Amino acid sequence: MIELTEEQVKALSESHSNPPQLLNPLTKEAFVLLHVDEYKQLTSAIYDDTPWTREELAAVAWKTGERAGWDAEVDDFR
C-alpha cells in the first residue's frame, strides 16, 4: 500500500465532482482514485471470479460451436 503525502491528503479532502486523477510521471498514464467501498461496489456488480458451473461451461461451449458454424443436433454428441 502506498501512503499519501500531506499535499495529496489535502487534495483528497477538497470536494470533487469526479474522482481524483493520478498521473504516473514516468509513463504519463492516468489513474482514477476511488474509495475502497466505491471500488467494491463497482466490481461486485461486474466481476464474478467464482468457479464456473457445469451449466455455464456447457452454455459457453454451445455458443463457441455456434460461432464456429457447427450445426449439429444434441444427440450427435452423446
Residue 76 clears pLDDT 60, i.e. is over it: no
Helix (H, G, I), strand (E, B) or coil at 51: coil
Residue 61, SS3?
Answer: helix
Listed in sequence order, the residues at least 6 apart from 60 whose beta carbon sits closer than 8 Å to its beta carbon are 52
pLDDT tens figures, 21-54: 889 999 999 999 888 998 888 887 777 778 999 9
> Global pTM?
0.47
CA distance linking residue 47 with residue 61, whole number of Å: 20
